[in-house]
Structure 1
Amino acid sequence: MKSQKILLIAFLSLITLASCSDDDNNPLPVNEEEVITTLEVTLTNGTTTVTLLSTDLDGDGPNDPVVSVSGNFEKGMTYDGVLKLLNETESPAENITEEVEEEALDHQFFYSTTNSIATFAYSDEDTDGNPIGIEFKMTASADAGNGKVTFTLRHEPNKNASGVKDGDITNAAGETDIEVTFDVVVE
C-alpha cells in the first residue's frame, strides 16, 4: 500500500511538472506605443525652407497642440521633405524618428490634402521595398490657393493592401500613432 502511494505521488508530480510550460518564464516582449509630443516637417526647395511644427507636451491633456507654419509654398515648386518625431516629456528629448526607422516594417506615414494643394511621393523604403515616409517629395499646386495638409503615422499598417504602397490610407488598417493637420498657403 505504501509503495502504491509513493507511485501515485510520483505520477501526479510528473503530470504536474509536464503541464508546466517554459514560455511562462520567457514572455513575449511588449512593443509599447511611442510617446510623440512633437512633429516637425522640414520642406526645402534649394532656396526656401518651410517648417511645419506641432507640439503637444500634455498629450491628451486639456491643452491643444501648438501648430505653426513658418511660411508659404511657391506654386509649382517641388520640396524635399523630412519628418522628425520627438518625445519632449523626457530630458533630453527622445528622437522617436530613430525608433520608427528601426521598426520601418511596422510603420508608414500617409499624407493627405484638401483643395489639391499639393502632391506627395515617398523617397524612402523599408527592407521589403515598401514606403516609410520619413523622407518624401512634396510638389505644391501650380495654382495659388490655401488648404490643409495632414500627416498621419500608422503603426502596423497592412502595407500589402490595395493602394497602401501608393500612399492611400483607406485600406491601411493599423493604429494611428500621430496625426496632425496644418493650414498651408501656396502663392
Structure 2
Amino acid sequence: MKTIKLLSLSLLATLLFSACSDDDEAPQVINEEEEITTLNVYLTPDNDTESLTFSFTDLDGGVSEPTIVNNGLQANTSYTGRIEFLNENESPVENITDEVIAEAEEHQVFFITETGLDVTIDYLDFDDNDDPLGVEFRLVAESVSSGNLTFILIHEGNKSTPEADGETDIEVTFDVTVE
C-alpha cells in the first residue's frame, strides 16, 4: 500500500513539474502612460525682445475649463521654441519632458497650423534614428495673420504623420495672432 502511495505521489509530482515550461514568454511590461496636466511653450525671439509663454493647464482631466494663456507673435520674427510637459497633480511637480526626451524614439511632437496663420515650424531635435522629436523647434512668424496652432505629443506613433497611429499623450490648440 505504501508503494502505491509513493508511486502515486511520484507520478503526481512528475506531472506537476513537467507542466511548467521554460520557454514561456516573459510577461509584457506595460509602460503606463504618464498624466500630463500642463503644456508650456516657451518662445524666445532672435531679436532679443522679451520671451513669450503659451500655456495650457488642466488639473482635473476636463471636469472644469482648462487654463489657457495665449500671446501674440511679432511678424517677420524668428523664435527658438521649447516645450515643457508637466504633471502638476504630483508633489513635487513631475517633469514629463525628461521622459519624452529619454524615450525620444517613442515620442514626437507634431505642429499643425491652421490655414491663414502665416508661421512655419522646423524641428531642432531628433532621436537616435534622426527622426524628429519636437521638444525644441524654430518658429518663424511671417506676415500679419491669425489662426490656430496645435501641438500634439504622440507616443509609439508613425513619425511621418500624427493621424497614422500611436497614442495621443496630449493635444492642445492655441489661438495665435501674428501682429
TM over 0.5: yes
SS, match of residue 169 in structure 1: coil
How far has the Cα of 1:9 moved from its partner? 3.1
Distance in 1, matches of 2:101 and 2:133, equals 8
- Corresponding residue for residue 177 of structure 1: 169
Which deviates more, 146-155 or 26-35? 26-35
- Corresponding residue for residue 125 of structure 2: 124
1:47-92 deviation per Cα after TM superposition (whole angstroms, max 9, x unaligned): 23221100111123x21111111x3112232211100011111122
Distance in 1, matches of 2:154 and 2:23, equals 30
User: Is contact 2:81-2:138 (8 Å) kept?
Assistant: yes
Distance in 2, matches of 1:23 and 1:139, equals 55
Where do 5+ consecutive residues of structure 1 fail to align? none
How far has the Cα of 1:6 moved from its partner? 3.1
- The 5 Å alignment of 1:109-148 reads 109-117=109-117, 118-140=119-141, 142-148=142-148
User: Is contact 1:115-1:146 (8 Å) kept?
Assistant: no
RMSD of aligned Cα (Å): 2.1
How far has the Cα of 1:15 moved from its partner? 2.3
Equivalent pairs: percent with the same residue?
A: 46
- The 5 Å alignment of 1:2-41 reads 3=3, 5-21=5-21, 27-41=27-41
The size of the alignment, in residue pairs, is 175
TM-score using structure 1 length: 0.84
Distance in 2, matches of 1:92 and 1:122, equals 30
SS, match of residue 120 in structure 1: strand
SS, match of residue 72 in structure 2: coil
- Corresponding residue for residue 57 of structure 1: 59
Distance in 2, matches of 1:22 and 1:67, equals 54
User: Is contact 2:116-2:145 (8 Å) kept?
Assistant: no
Where do 5+ consecutive residues of structure 2 fail to align? none
- Corresponding residue for residue 107 of structure 1: 107
